[in-house]
Structure 1
Amino acid sequence: MKKNIMKNKVTKIIVLILFLLTIPLVYIYILSNFIKNNFYNFNENSPTIFSKIIDIDINNNFNINKFLKILELSRYKESDKLYESGNYILEKNRIFIFRRSFYSFDNYIKKAKFLINFNNNKILNIINLDINKEIKNFQIEPQIIYFSNLNNNFYLYKFITDFPDSLIKIILLVEDENFFFHKGININSILRSVIKNIKNRKIVQGGSTITQQLVKNIFFNYYNKNFIRKFNEILISLIIENKYKKDYILEFYLNKIFFGNINNNNIYGFPLASLFYFGKNIDELDLNEQVILVSMIKGPSLYNPYKNKKIIIDRRNFIFKKMKDKNLIDNYLFDKLISKDIILNNYNIYINYSYLDIIKNEIKKLNKNFYDFKYIFSNFDLLSQNSSKISCKKILSNLREKTKIKDLEISMLITDFKNGNIKCSIGSFDNKFGYNRIYINRNIGSIIKPIIYLLSLIKKKYKLNSLIDNKNVIYNDGKKIWIPKNLNNNFKEKVIFIDSLIHSLNIPVINIGFSVGIDNIINFIKLILNDYNIDIKKYPSIFLGSIGLNLINISQIYQSIFNYGNIVELNSISFLIDKKDIKYNFQNQIRKENNIFSEEHSYLIMYCMKKIIEEGTAKNLNKNKDLVLLGKTGTTNNFVDSWFIGSDNNEMCIIWIGRDNNCTTYLSGSSGSMKIYEEYIKYSFPESFYFKELKNIYYVNIDEYGNIICSEHNKKIIPIIIDNEEALNNNFLCPHHNIIVKYFNKIFNIKKK
């Protein structure tokens, strides 16, 4: 009986011991899985997004001022010597630049020095100073326009090889000299801190290694300190040291250490702190700036250079003293460094939420998740962004004050019509997140007229010199009576086709629209947009722009016109890299179609839009006679929507001004949106629109009735399409001389463009 009792007791003790041993093992197992799933988990983080890589080419029309502006927007600093990347030297008509290193789609681009010589405000030549060789082009690195983040915690991950050796040495000296020798914890430091904490009956000293600091940043609340948390911190540190290599732990620490809060953004990691506090890449920091950041590790709130300059200078000088004692710097350098001031250059990140929205929508087309990607290289253009931001803020503020309408809003889309790249977008006046007016359908008003005129030319219903009825008319379909009017209530019996578009007359376009057919117009729009499900109502008012389209739609339509009938789907993304480092060239995914209508018909409409700037509804833009622009104003009923389309040789702008409640703005296209474009081109360095030479385009003189006439009358010159000489000889007659043109090159002033 006693033996059985004893045996049962022993069994219970063994079970208890095993149970007690199992608890920590299970706990360690749970912690290990937790670490595995969370230690290097960026899967929930949003990607880092970059602006467009800038190509500098001798064939580009870069004047020296435009180049300097690009350097400024790319965070380059003028200097007297090229000490480090990110600097440039300006000497009269030449610029020396130390270009930063960066990653492109398929390779790593090293730092390099270049000399760019300018002559007559154009690039004369480019010299690579590293190899002393003349080259045709080089690239300037993209800028970050959206940081990887999770719940407003922002990161910019860099590999350990990207960090300066001097920075790593300082960090190890100050934070953990024995980092490469311990297994995650420093017993002596822990014992010292335990004694001090027991005396104070709370955690006042950590004794933390770099590994422990990393664990604290990843897994624990920064401010919630207690003994249980400290125990878990030590245990997790030991597990991490057993699972990962030292270089990997150090790299992760450099990218994850907390550097405080700026503008409600939590800043993590040395690379991002370098940008936010000094406006520099991590490899561009001088020794003083490196030590300032290391000083902040002790407490980013207390040792904040913006708030407590004296405190951080004391901390910095303490570290410099430590460096001198360890022979990392000599006495001369020490004296020089401690006398230095702290010069901050806050990185002003402007997150364009409208453009971010466009990127997300394009990724959806790939059936991918935005969060699947680590890096997105976009087509975002820094110069276009800067120009649009300045012009929108200035002009819309003036218009709000002038009209006394505080809720006037704006949306703006800037594209490269040649390749379909979306360069910039403005979704609202104050760049609010969540409501992107780029995608809001609005009646487009007279913006539709060039589209209807184009289709009428394609179907050979009219020519630029055709006469169109311009009489006041009443339309009655049995259900509704419609009495359209010209904006100025000016009516004539007839008006020349080109003049009716230049002056945006309503009655002629209605007559042209009926001639072409509502169904044909709707199908033409759907063809260009490649969207046959878009809902367009079949009402005659469509001829005056009663059709709901958004800025993406409108840009896509006009992109095809300005690109001579060739469609390139609008796109904001150049290439993508996902979190498995798989690369996607987005340019291979976009739709491209050639010649959906002829180059000649595009040419004629673009010529009309050029004349709109010179003598039509947008003539107030024609202040610089040497600058050739294309444009079209648009206004909807009761001045609800103000539209403008403007283009130089490089980019097309679509601008809308209106109110979300669809009440009147009291603004026409020329008094509203066109004012934004007028201001925009003051900063965007526009280039005159270039018309291609087309073999079937000739220029002729016409009279006020549209008749082609001899050169001596010289009334108006327009382009026409001539397919062959025979057609010209058989059809053209000078009414003033009653002579059939047989030798048109001799008798008439018909010029080949």
Structure 2
Amino acid sequence: MSKKPNKKPAARKSVKGRSWLGLLIKLMLVGVVVLAGAMAYLDAQIVEKFEGKRWAIPAKVYARPLEIYAGLSLTDKRLSAELAALGYRLVDKVDSVGQVQRKGAGDFVIYGRSFNFADGREPAQLGEVELANGRVQALRDGKGHDLPLMRLEPQLIGGFYPSKNEDRELVTLKDVPPLLVSTLIAVEDRNFYSHWGISLRGITRAMLANIRAGRFVQGGSTLTQQLVKNFYLDDNSRSLIRKLREAPMALLLEMHYSKQEILETYLNEVYLGQDGSRAIHGFGQASLFYFGQPVNELNPAQISLLVGMVKGPSLYNPRRNPNTATERRNVVLQVLADQGIMPQSYAEGWAKQPLGVSDVPLRSKGGYPAFMQLVRQQLQQYYDADTLTSAGLKVFTTLDPYVQHTAERSLQDVTAQLDKRYGKRLEGLEGAMIVTSPNTGEILAMVGGRDPRFQGFNRALDAHRQIGSLVKPSVYLSALEEYQQYNLATPLDDGPVDIKAGDGTRWKPQNFDHQSHGMVPLWQALAKSYNQSTAHLGLAVGLPRIAQTLQRLGITSQIDAVPSLLLGAIDLTPFEVTQMYQTIASQGFYMPLRAVTAVLDEKGKPLQESSLHFQPKQVVDPRFMGLVTYGMEQVVNEGTSRQIRTVLNPDIFAAGKTGTTNDQKDSWFAGFTENYLGVVWLGKDDPQPTPLTGATGALQVWIDMMKGLQPAAWQPALAPGLSQAWVDSSGNLTDQDCPGARQLPFIPGSEPKTFNSCHSAPAAQPDDDGQQRSWFQRLFGG
């Protein structure tokens, strides 16, 4: 009887096969779960960042906009410089925004850009500006009708950047030329509108190229994959792991969002070069950086260059590698012709054009560090660091780029001349300048040192120096407020001073010329900056009174009421001195110096409106300030600053005061015209003596700056509440035609009581109304 075959081994094999199959199924299930989890994680990442705060947008800081209106003080040179800085293109005939046409001397046709100003968006506007004699004579619109106002968009002067140091100007699809979108797709991803985030054809093509090369030499990435790499993945390598993450994320991105949303995000994310230490992201910022124009004004050649740079921003940098950049641009233009986007003749024509790249923006070379430091200080009162660097604020400031550049050039040129003249005696000479608008307290310019791009010590804000004779207007103001006792004609003793100071030493100030001048009228003592007469006057008025006047004028630093205060033994910064003279120049109105006028949030909504605007406060009676201003005008006309009159038009009002400290360690000048108040300091950081006085140093910088600014001719009217009378050198009333007679302003009732006529007939006597009439007028009437 035969045995039955043994089936157990087959059974064992079947069991073993089922166990492997089960394990495989389990592994597959685990893999599915893991993959599903990974996809869910990636999906959450995609949605969270895309729908949240996509970028840390730096605060953009703008200069003041140039507001043009009939009667404005404006020169041909200044308007031309403003338009050039804004990237306006000179053309034979204006037909689009961002263009300017010169019809003749002083005649500009400007097609202004649309801009979201602090008080709302203004549309693009065509205007014709006629200039003559340093003023706007007429302003008309495109139809020839009178135009009340035309505003040019402000210059971008800097920003406060996030930790990643990325800079971008956000744009929407409607902001960019359609040709830019067409060019980008034609060059980078011609199947963009048909794929689902990845291109199998592109991947296959790239894989074959990489196999042949034995390394990664080509990518098959779509625009969507490029966006995933730049927007979500920190790893910029060409590794397989990154590619494995990139593809599913691209698919997920396409599942959630439209092609338009993906494309718009790409336009703002793509890396296009470096602005110093800052990375340029997006076509909006790249257009401003490379061409100085908004993206909507780019021509086909410029568009082709930027799109060509996507492949290699460093390699095709048009400033560093213009020949390589030109070749790449022309390749892109030919692609447009090959794909029928542009006629071949057009492509060849644009390929012959120069690159048209603008100069490196000044903000890329350091910008205006002294002014930006003040802007940051004032903004930090309202915003934390994260808001300043990532919330996309738009900050509008008071900086006038033309005034700033003029001030910088004057400080550099004049100090270089002084170096040459005095040699080693001036080794280490430094300086600082501040220019403001006398009527508003707005800071138009700030220079922190001879190197205006230096990011370090800001002397305009932080250099505490004795101010010397710049303190004297406060001494004379304190006296003139006691108008029953003092007026501009009051004789002052300019004899020697010798008093015992609080520490037991003797205080014996001398005049700069080491001479005493006897009895001098009050106005002359101020104009000639006599130390001895100022000391006598200040001691008579009282040191506490002088200190209180300085505080009213805006000084917040500690003031020691000691005799040496009368001659400027007080340490102040140029900023504090400017605040003091701002109150003087504004005829007694105190207004804090300000650098910021408005702040808009990312959506263009104004912020901190009430906090940024200060209502001027009258702290000194304008009548008394008018008297002091007369004395300071005589400083310019015949005193220590009389050199101004040899340079500036005599019809230009100017008033000011020089300042020199002990051993000539500090050279100061503070002066103002109708439009500008300028404060200049020169000295060494040590500090060490110099050969400079206020007149031979700081005044020279001020004069050079005013020559460049060309202030308009203007003479102020007599302050309301003041009368005028003729006096002689002894401070007595006299007749107008008498030798040495001078017409001075007075508070009515404060005129001298004594008359001294040069005629043999009886001298004129004052009427009850305080007006002076001659004996002939009194006898026969009139």
Paired residue for 1:363, among 375, 379, 382? Answer: 379
User: What's 2:472 paired with?
Assistant: 449
Distance 1:248 1:385, change over 3 A: farther
Distance 1:360 1:33, change over 3 A: farther
User: What's 2:412 paired with?
Assistant: 393
| Matched-pair contact (CA < 8 Å) for 2:667–2:698 | yes
CA deviations over 1:420-472 (Å, ceiling 9, x no partner): 11111111222211321122222111111112211221233521111112111
Q: Distance in 2 between matches of 1:25 and 1:518?
A: 83
Distance 1:422 1:412, change over 3 A: same
* SS of match in other structure, 1:123: strand
| Matched-pair contact (CA < 8 Å) for 1:647–1:689 | no
Q: Distance in 1 between matches of 2:221 and 2:354?
A: 30
User: What's 2:4 paired with?
Assistant: none
* SS of match in other structure, 1:734: coil
* SS of match in other structure, 1:488: coil
| Matched-pair contact (CA < 8 Å) for 2:725–2:772 | no
Paired residue for 1:590, among 613, 616, 626? Answer: 613
User: What's 1:685 paired with?
Assistant: 710
| Matched-pair contact (CA < 8 Å) for 2:727–2:744 | no
Q: Distance in 2 between matches of 1:8 and 1:499?
A: 114
User: What's 1:640 paired with?
Assistant: 665
Displacement, 1:202?
3.1
| Matched-pair contact (CA < 8 Å) for 2:623–2:747 | no
* 1:111 maps to 2:131: no
* SS of match in other structure, 2:634: helix
Q: Distance in 1 between matches of 2:47 and 2:710?
A: 52
Q: Distance in 1 between matches of 2:411 and 2:658?
A: 17
Displacement, 1:11?
11
* Alignment RMSD (CA, Å): 3.1
Distance 1:492 1:536, change over 3 A: same
CA deviations over 1:327-377 (Å, ceiling 9, x no partner): 222233233223333333224323101111111111123355433552111
**The 10-residue stretch of structure 1 (344-353 or 503-512) with the greater mean CA deviation from structure 2:** 344-353
* SS of match in other structure, 1:571: coil
Q: Distance in 1 between matches of 2:506 and 2:55?
A: 60
User: What's 1:467 paired with?
Assistant: 491
* SS of match in other structure, 1:133: coil
Displacement, 1:104?
0.7
The residue identity in structure 1 corresponding to 2:158 is Y
Displacement, 1:407?
2.1
The residue identity in structure 2 corresponding to 1:502 is A
- What's the TM-score, normalizing by structure 1? 0.91
Paired residue for 2:533, among 504, 508, 533? Answer: 508
Q: Distance in 1 between matches of 2:599 and 2:458?
A: 23
| Matched-pair contact (CA < 8 Å) for 1:64–1:122 | no
User: What's 1:747 paired with?
Assistant: 774
User: What's 1:327 paired with?
Assistant: 340
User: What's 1:376 paired with?
Assistant: 395
Paired residue for 2:74, among 62, 66, 70? Answer: 62
User: What's 2:736 paired with?
Assistant: 711
* 1:548 maps to 2:571: yes
The residue identity in structure 1 corresponding to 2:668 is W
User: What's 1:102 paired with?
Assistant: 115
Displacement, 1:84?
3.1
* SS of match in other structure, 2:717: coil
Aligned ranges 1:339-358 → 2 under 5 Å = 339-350=352-363, 351-358=367-374
* SS of match in other structure, 1:434: coil
Q: Distance in 2 between matches of 1:450 and 1:552?
A: 17
The residue identity in structure 2 corresponding to 1:66 is R
Distance 1:713 1:735, change over 3 A: closer
User: What's 1:575 paired with?
Assistant: 598
Distance 1:352 1:469, change over 3 A: same
Paired residue for 2:192, among 179, 183, 205? Answer: 179
Distance 1:48 1:355, change over 3 A: same
Q: Distance in 1 between matches of 2:412 and 2:489?
A: 42
Q: Distance in 1 between matches of 2:502 and 2:656?
A: 38
**The 10-residue stretch of structure 1 (699-708 or 245-254) with the greater mean CA deviation from structure 2:** 245-254
* SS of match in other structure, 1:446: helix
Aligned ranges 1:140-289 → 2 under 5 Å = 140-147=152-159, 149-150=161-162, 151-220=164-233, 224-289=237-302
User: What's 1:78 paired with?
Assistant: 90
Distance 1:541 1:374, change over 3 A: same
* 1:649 maps to 2:674: yes
Q: Distance in 2 between matches of 1:214 and 1:557?
A: 55
Displacement, 1:489?
0.7
| Matched length | 741
Displacement, 1:707?
1.6
Q: Distance in 2 between matches of 1:501 and 1:128?
A: 50
Q: Distance in 2 between matches of 1:748 and 1:232?
A: 105
The residue identity in structure 2 corresponding to 1:437 is R
Q: Distance in 1 between matches of 2:220 and 2:74?
A: 57
Q: Distance in 2 between matches of 1:320 and 1:6?
A: 63
The residue identity in structure 2 corresponding to 1:388 is A
Amino-acid identity (%):
25
* 1:621 maps to 2:644: yes
Q: Distance in 2 between matches of 1:692 and 1:366?
A: 40
User: What's 1:733 paired with?
Assistant: 755
Q: Distance in 1 between matches of 2:30 and 2:547?
A: 77
Q: Distance in 2 between matches of 1:517 and 1:12?
A: 102
CA deviations over 1:3-39 (Å, ceiling 9, x no partner): xx99999999898767655545555555556556766
Displacement, 1:713?
1.1
Displacement, 1:384?
0.6
Question: Larger Rg: 1 or 2?
Answer: 2
Q: Distance in 1 between matches of 2:302 and 2:686?
A: 51
| Matched-pair contact (CA < 8 Å) for 2:229–2:236 | no
The residue identity in structure 2 corresponding to 1:566 is F
The residue identity in structure 2 corresponding to 1:247 is Q
The residue identity in structure 2 corresponding to 1:191 is T
Distance 1:481 1:670, change over 3 A: same
Displacement, 1:416?
0.8
User: What's 1:411 paired with?
Assistant: 432
| Matched-pair contact (CA < 8 Å) for 1:609–1:632 | yes
Structure 2's unaligned 5+ residue stretches are: 1-11, 778-782
The residue identity in structure 2 corresponding to 1:733 is F
Distance 1:594 1:339, change over 3 A: closer
Displacement, 1:221?
5.9
Q: Distance in 2 between matches of 1:659 and 1:85?
A: 49
Q: Distance in 2 between matches of 1:587 and 1:667?
A: 44
Q: Distance in 2 between matches of 1:271 and 1:87?
A: 19
Displacement, 1:732?
4.8
Distance 1:277 1:602, change over 3 A: same
